[in-house]
Structure 1
Amino acid sequence: MTDSHDNRSLDRRSVLKSIGAGTAVAVGGLGTSGAASADESDTHYHNPVGPIGFGDVSIIEDGGTYYAYGTETPEDIIPIAESTDMYNWEYVAPALTETPGWHPTESDPGCWAPDIRYHDGQYHLYYSLSVWGSDDAGIGLATSDTPDGPFTDQGPVIQSGDLDLTNCIDADTVMVGGQPWLVWGSYEGLYAVQMNDPMDDIVPGTEFQMAGDSIEGPVMLQDNGYWYLIYSSGQCCEGYDSTYRLECGRATSFTGPYYNQNGTDLRDLSGSHDGVPILEGNDQFTGPGHNDVFQGPDGDWWCFYHVEATADDETRYMMQDRIEWDDNDWPVIACDGEPSSQAPAPGEPSGCDDSGSGGGSGPIADGTYHIANANSGKLLEVASAGTADGDNVRQYADTGHACQDWTVTANGDGTYAITNVNSGLWLEVAGAGTAEGDNVQQYSNSNHPCQAWTIEDAGGGQYRLVNANSGLLAEVAGAGTADGDNVQQWSDNGGSHQLWTFTPV
């Protein structure tokens, strides 16, 4: 088992400079892009979880506190964040106060892709030192007595040319039978080499190739009788144009060979996206990649990674999602292989169904919510707290009654069932109607698609409720803002009276 990792290639430095001065230290709690309105409960977390700019993240735990390390930003070199619950992260300090000076030939090198490990009484922080577009790179080591630093640079561990190999960046250290190994690589093959016992140098002659070209950021995970090699494929660092994603292979021994889900030897890979994805972007999050894996105190595996952009912001953010396993022991991240906007917190049940999909990975996590109209601010409720089939659904100011509480449950097919807590009945379009103006009411479960809803993320913490049977949106009739105004279905007209927020109860 490894206790930290992280990696990449392509221009981290210039992309991070585009974030702008000051943003890296403006941390302040959970990100809300692509998520429901802010949830302070301890049962769910919202992505992005981390401070802005924490690319190529690496994680470690010390005495119940978790520490994250990221690629340099315009404000500091290897920023550090900490958390006591593994999902609320706050900026701490930079690990290094100046860029190490040992890079051989290039000026103004970037300090990228940290990998953190506790070894022999000290915290070892491995980092990449390179210039964008150059093959002349290396991996260095800085050490500290404490995880929050300060770290003292110890110089290079490996440099391009040491083993007649180039582009030595994106380190992941791993213990194999008590012996430390260094795994690395970016776009010119992924390799491993044995390290000496102090873990400050390599052992020439022990190196071997693990995977082919056009991939980077290797991370090792040992479980289920396998060694898993997770790596990033595609283009990073291009904002909304990024094509970054995670792929993987596995072997029964650390030295391989590593094969993917299609039976392809990873050494035969030669192009971006030649492998099988285990995490790729969606409408909310672009370019998930360069990850670490971390096993929480309850034994759950977590994938920490960054995205190149969110639906609201073309900036890198730190993300996290659970790693589950399918029936053939292949990793499934975030239940369905796409970044979650919110999901059950560490220590809570995953929310995935038995097939490794559903539950926690959709726009809204399973749970109980106040559903408020974005135009009026009033809550969706069953009129007069009715409990009968056919009772009307409307908007009303918050009364604190359970008739305004709704349980949202993923159906496993991309739709949700929405049931009233007070009555236990389903939100539906009356009579399975498909026309504009047809009424929304509650009714006993009929297993009809008129009782199924697609929740579409509209950005800014707002969502559309689309009836699966009719394809029409739930809205407040006439864009009304008064107590008691009716809720009906209508074609999408872009109005805020057709948008809703979900606040956990």
Structure 2
Amino acid sequence: MKSTIIGLVLTFSTFVGATPNPITGSDTVVVRDPSIWYNSALGKYFVFSTNGNIPIWTSSAISGPWTNVGSALSSCSIIDLPGNCNLWAPDINFIDGLYTLYYAVSSIGTQNSAIGVATSPSMMPGTWTDLGEVISSVTGDVFNAIDPNIIDDTVGLQLTFGSYWNGIYQVGLYPGVNDQASPTPGTHLAGYSGRRAEGGFVYKPASQPYYYCFFSDGITPLIGATSRPPAGEEYKVLVGRGADGQGPFYGEAGNDITLDLTPPTGTPVLESHDNVYAPGGQSIFVDPVSGRDVMVYHYVKLSDAIGGPSYLGINYLDFSSGWPVVVA
């Protein structure tokens, strides 16, 4: 009897500790770096994604089905840089009565990059006004002006950005959504030279006094790849938390996430599990329909051939422990 009880306890512990799979309805939606918002007037969720002119997916339920309805910037970005018709890492928010979409213009491996912004009254294709460049970077800067994220903090709009190089940074915007108010590189939030850290996303849940800086760490598989990273070095979502939206942010062990330490700083939120491989490119929002905190991200299906596409993952987050936990 005792061994049976121990076995049941171990089984139960394994069960409750398991990471939930993405909620159903999105595993056929091919995306990278997704960002999500809800238009209450239309009763629709909108997901924006890297590639092309920022494809838009909509659904009347967060569980899908999702429909590709077009793109945000069908005539490309007005930013005059290579890659302005293949836009990256959109970040959507609602600011001053308009849906506001930040995006990046760049090419793989270069720092000749810029972050732009566009606004819309509805998020639908054909309604977007491109306001152009917000910040930029060039070869030799300590940062790369990609992977934008905006937070309307108590001190105003703050733009988080950065990938690889010396890490993830943040500058203020004022008075408008495209007006740089403080010089780059700004405040250093996460990562360091040599760390594969990108996709910073600062979020404050209503249930907590803390701000959380999520970021993607590791190597992300790309379409056409012929091999996978060494085990454990693939993409994953990590987080640090702090007293305000400008940091500093600390992992659960108490270390600033800008520090070069072993093991690397940051608390795991989502890693490879089951058929979900290399999740990352995350964004978070509070779903006004359910009232729950939601994280969207891309991942590769482990069962797919190497070099295949990445898909839309959606999960709920629970912050009741003080740290974000993926829950069903």
- After superposition, the C-alpha distances for 1:210-261 in whole angstroms (9 at most, x for unaligned) are 1122200011121311000000000013467251000000001222211101
Deviation at 1:321, TM superposition (A): 0.8
Does residue 1:260 correspond to 2:251, yes or no?
A: yes
Bigger radius of gyration, 1 or 2? 1
Provide the rounded CA distance (Å) in 1 between the counterparts of 2:183 and 2:130. 26
Query: Which has the higher relative contact order, 1 or 2, with Cα contacts under 8 A spaced 6 or more apart?
Result: 2
Deviation at 1:107, TM superposition (A): 6.2
Contact 1:304 1:321 in 2 (8 A): yes
2:213 alignment partner, SS class: strand
Contact 2:45 2:62 in 1 (8 A): yes
Contact 1:137 1:166 in 2 (8 A): no
Which residue of structure 2 aligns with residue 127 of structure 1? 103
Contact 1:175 1:181 in 2 (8 A): yes
Provide the rounded CA distance (Å) in 2 between the counterparts of 1:200 and 1:144. 14
- After superposition, the C-alpha distances for 1:96-134 in whole angstroms (9 at most, x for unaligned) are 113325244x46773100011222232221111001110
Contact 1:108 1:131 in 2 (8 A): no
Taking a change above 3 Å as real, the CA distance of residues 67 and 85 of structure 1, as seen in their structure-2 partners, is: same
The aligned runs of 1:300-315 (5 Å cut-off) are: 300-312=292-304, 314-315=308-309
1:80 alignment partner, SS class: strand
Which residue of structure 2 aligns with residue 144 of structure 1? 120
Contact 1:103 1:138 in 2 (8 A): no
Unpaired stretches in structure 1, ≥5 consecutive residues: 1-33, 36-43, 335-359, 361-505
Which residue of structure 2 aligns with residue 289 of structure 1? 280
Which residue of structure 1 aligns with residue 238 of structure 2? 247
Provide the rounded CA distance (Å) in 2 between the counterparts of 1:272 and 1:111. 34
Which residue of structure 2 aligns with residue 319 of structure 1? 313
**Given the two structures, how large is their TM-score scaled by the length of structure 2?**
0.80
Contact 2:77 2:84 in 1 (8 A): no
Provide the rounded CA distance (Å) in 2 between the counterparts of 1:115 and 1:108. 16
Contact 1:286 1:309 in 2 (8 A): yes
Does residue 1:199 correspond to 2:181, yes or no?
A: no
Which residue of structure 2 aligns with residue 58 of structure 1? 35
Contact 2:38 2:287 in 1 (8 A): no
1:256 alignment partner AA:
G
Which residue of structure 2 aligns with residue 184 of structure 1? 161
Provide the rounded CA distance (Å) in 1 between the counterparts of 2:204 and 2:146. 22
Which of residues 49, 56, 62 is equivalent to 1:70?
Answer: 49
Does residue 1:46 correspond to 2:24, yes or no?
A: yes
Over aligned residues, Cα RMSD in angstroms? Answer: 2.7
Provide the rounded CA distance (Å) in 1 between the counterparts of 2:53 and 2:179. 23
Taking a change above 3 Å as real, the CA distance of residues 269 and 92 of structure 1, as seen in their structure-2 partners, is: farther
Which residue of structure 2 aligns with residue 216 of structure 1? 198
Unpaired stretches in structure 2, ≥5 consecutive residues: 1-19
Provide the rounded CA distance (Å) in 2 between the counterparts of 1:199 and 1:110. 22
- After superposition, the C-alpha distances for 1:313-342 in whole angstroms (9 at most, x for unaligned) are 632100111111363x111114xxxxxxxx
**Given the two structures, how large is their TM-score scaled by the length of structure 1?**
0.53
Does residue 1:117 correspond to 2:117, yes or no?
A: no
Q: How many residues get paired? A: 288
2:258 alignment partner, SS class: helix
